[in-house]
Amino acid sequence: MLALLQVLAAQALGPVPVGFFTGKRRTVVAIGIATRGRLAADHVAVACFEDEATPPEHLPAKLAEAVSAIATRPGWRGRDGQTGELQIPSPSPDRDQVVSLWGLGRRDRLERSRLCDWLDGVASRARTNGARRVAVVLPDHPEVRDAATARHLSRDLLLSEYRFDRFRQGSDVAQPKLGKVLLLPPPGGDALYRSQLPRSRATATAVARARDLANAPPNEATPRWLAERAAELAAGHGFRHSRLDVPDLEARRMGGILAVGRGSRQPPCLLRLERGDRGPIVALVGKGVTFDSGGLSIKSARGMVSMKYDKAGACTVLAAALAAAELDLPIRLRVYLPLAENMVGGDSFRPGDVIRCFNGRTVEIVNTDAEGRLLLADAMAWAVDEGAEHLVELSTLTGGVVAALGYFGAALFTPDETLAAGLLAAAEEAGEKLWRMPLWPEFSATVRGNHADLKNSAGRPASAATAAAFLASFVGGLKSWAHLDIAGTAQVAGNGPASGFGTALLVDWLHRLAEDGEPAC
């Protein structure tokens, strides 16, 4: 009876759907929180620390025996990376249960990233062994009892079967293997783990969405297509939406978006979403260049390869906003997505052109490949004009940030200490690396124009910082604004698929804001 209650008490967390706009909703991984008792799974993974032979206290007896059997093998120390496995007869007749023991190294050295790597390893081992249900016995350690860790681990597990494979066919389509993961928290940790599930789920869904959209190829994902997908999703989440097309952009004198879009057969547009009637007014802005050829200042063949990801900022802020809606955060949220394709054509904007942006600032074009800031200029100026109290903008803006931080972290530029602290804390919580860079007046001087107020590029030196300084001219008197340059982190390892970077940190930041009405902790 007790065992049955315990099984019932294991609270399942639904699967994360991916491939959502193909109509092929697919179950990925469901996770649940197990309570102490029988762990019904094909594979049970247990962690232990170096030179601590005793099995974790919260293990059911049969598993404890199996763990002891592995831990007493000659040579077992529980060293970082050491693993052992044992098959035990399981309750299900068709398959034995595999118990694996994983050394995490010294207890006093445990970090969250080590736990994430461990779960990654568990998931791939279980997948290789053909297990569909996996139970994970989390070690008893203060790091494991941390709410942000609980969220991060669940989020990673939910995403562990994420694939972007809607263009693959037949045997190329990898079948999802892991069906369900049961987490057994350390003693007393059940409530904590259970309470974090809704946030983990909303965040994992958002990351999957951001990836799905950013991975979409540029012949499909035109500005119009992206605006339509975003509007559909937004409408399903209680947002009001409106779209400015070329005539509207002209009427509002949004010369930046218009200039970038001119060379393409696909017209540019600006999508605006709004939701919520209480709490701070937060504007999220995302660069949505569906393909960046560089325009007349054309990129090299190599430099163009990954330019479908130049819409990652827009995809990320959209996905995070949808998550905020799912969590019903008390925030007056406004999302601005300037969408354009930067192409070469008979009507392309040119080096030498002078354009006028929404806030009246004139910009001399010196390089048509510095297009992101032109789109953002209009969108940010509009957001401020509409009364944003905080503005956070994400963009794959410069190769300079790749030179500075590689594929490991994004750059944060903001003049506001409170906002900086809030975003850095949220990034830390979300397990995404963010590093603050300066907005010195010297950088602003480099983007002063010769024949207009500004020029759109100051060349290579400190290009991430000079781009940020350019953007600073479009926020008027608003101090609580931030620019995150995600050029290095938008793709996994710089050349892989979309990472969804920034989604989790934005969700965590919005959550903090909702909790204290202030952008910091």
Active site amino acids: 299, 373
Choose the contact partner of 181 out of Zn ion, Mn ion, ligand BES, none; CB within 5 to 8 A by kind. none
Shortest Cβ 247–ligand BES spacing (Å): 26
**Concatenated DSSP letters for 191-252?**
HHHHHHHHHHHHHHHHHHHHHHHHHS-TTT--HHHHHHHHHHHHHTTT-EEEEE-HHHHHHT
Q: Which residue is nearest to Mn ion (CB)?
A: 369
Contacts of 23 (CB under 8 A, 6+ apart): none
Beta strand residue intervals within 361-430, DSSP E: 362-364, 390-395, 410-413
**Structural contact between residues 314 and 396, judged by C-beta atoms closer than 8 angstroms:** no
The one segment of 45-53, 130-138, 392-400, 504-512 that binds ligand BES by CB under 6 A: 392-400
Nearer to ligand BES, 341 or 371 (CB): 371
Q: Is residue 310 a contact point for ligand BES (CB under 6 A)?
A: yes
Q: Is residue 55 a contact point for Zn ion (CB under 5 A)?
A: no
The Cα 315–Cα 319 span in angstroms is 6
Beta bridge partners of 48: 103
Choose the contact partner of 398 out of Mn ion, Zn ion, ligand BES, none; CB within 5 to 8 A by kind. ligand BES
Q: Is residue 372 a contact point for Zn ion (CB under 5 A)?
A: yes
The Cα 466–Cα 278 span in angstroms is 36
Q: Is residue 463 a contact point for ligand BES (CB under 6 A)?
A: yes
The one segment of 118-126, 205-213, 330-338, 391-399 that binds ligand BES by CB under 6 A: 391-399
Rg of the chain on CA atoms, in Å = 25
Indicate which single residue of 281, 402, 439, 452 sits in contact with ligand BES (rule: CB under 6 A). 402
Residues contacting ligand BES: total by CB under 6 A: 16
Shortest Cβ 369–Mn ion spacing (Å): 4
Indicate which single residue of 97, 266, 414, 457 sits in contact with ligand BES (rule: CB under 6 A). 457
Q: Is residue 485 a contact point for Zn ion (CB under 5 A)?
A: no
Shortest Cβ 397–Mn ion spacing (Å): 9
Report 284-303 residues binding Zn ion (CB under 5 A): 289, 292
Indicate which single residue of 156, 292, 341, 393 sits in contact with ligand BES (rule: CB under 6 A). 292
Indicate which single residue of 42, 140, 310, 429 sits in contact with Zn ion (rule: CB under 5 A). 310
Beta bridge partners of 184: 137
Indicate which single residue of 362, 367, 418, 446 sits in contact with ligand BES (rule: CB under 6 A). 367
Indicate which single residue of 261, 268, 313, 400 sits in contact with ligand BES (rule: CB under 6 A). 400
The Cα 150–Cα 112 span in angstroms is 10
Tally DSSP H helices, then E strands, for the chain. 16, 19
Choose the contact partner of 463 out of Mn ion, Zn ion, ligand BES, none; CB within 5 to 8 A by kind. ligand BES
Q: Is residue 313 a contact point for Zn ion (CB under 5 A)?
A: no
Choose the contact partner of 457 out of ligand BES, Mn ion, Zn ion, none; CB within 5 to 8 A by kind. ligand BES
Nearer to ligand BES, 314 or 329 (CB): 314
DSSP code, position 415 = S
**Structural contact between residues 268 and 339, judged by C-beta atoms closer than 8 angstroms:** yes
Indicate which single residue of 207, 487, 504, 505 sits in contact with ligand BES (rule: CB under 6 A). 487
Judged on CB neighbours under 10 Å (0-12, 13-18, 19+), 518 is: middle
The one segment of 159-167, 201-209, 364-372, 468-476 that binds ligand BES by CB under 6 A: 364-372
Residues in the site for Mn ion, rule: CB under 5 A? 292, 369, 371
Nearest to 186 by CA among 110, 117, 84, 125: 110
Beta strand residue intervals within 57-184, DSSP E: 83-88, 97-103, 133-137, 180-184
**Structural contact between residues 265 and 293, judged by C-beta atoms closer than 8 angstroms:** no
Nearer to Zn ion, 456 or 503 (CB): 456
**Concatenated DSSP letters for 285-328?**
EE-EEEEE--TTSPPPHHHHTTGGGGGHHHHHHHHHHHHHHHTT
Question: Residue 199 corresponds to which tokens in the numbers above?
Answer: 């946030």
**Structural contact between residues 187 and 137, judged by C-beta atoms closer than 8 angstroms:** no
The Cα 94–Cα 304 span in angstroms is 52
DSSP code, position 81 = T
Indicate which single residue of 35, 398, 473, 503 sits in contact with ligand BES (rule: CB under 6 A). 398
Nearer to Mn ion, 375 or 513 (CB): 375
Nearer to Zn ion, 153 or 289 (CB): 289
Q: Which residue is nearest to Zn ion (CB)?
A: 292
Indicate which single residue of 371, 393, 429, 508 sits in contact with ligand BES (rule: CB under 6 A). 371
Shortest Cβ 299–Mn ion spacing (Å): 7
Contacts of 170 (CB under 8 A, 6+ apart): none
The one segment of 369-377, 410-418, 439-447, 500-508 that binds Zn ion by CB under 5 A: 369-377
Nearest to 78 by CA among 38, 118, 113, 43: 118
Nearer to ligand BES, 398 or 480 (CB): 398
Question: Residue 241 corresponds to which tokens in the numbers above?
Answer: 């939406």
Shortest Cβ 156–Zn ion spacing (Å): 29
Please give the residue ranges that form the binding site for ligand BES (CB under 6 A): 292, 310, 367, 369-372, 396-400, 402, 457, 463, 487
Please give the residue ranges that form the binding site for Zn ion (CB under 5 A): 289, 292, 310, 372
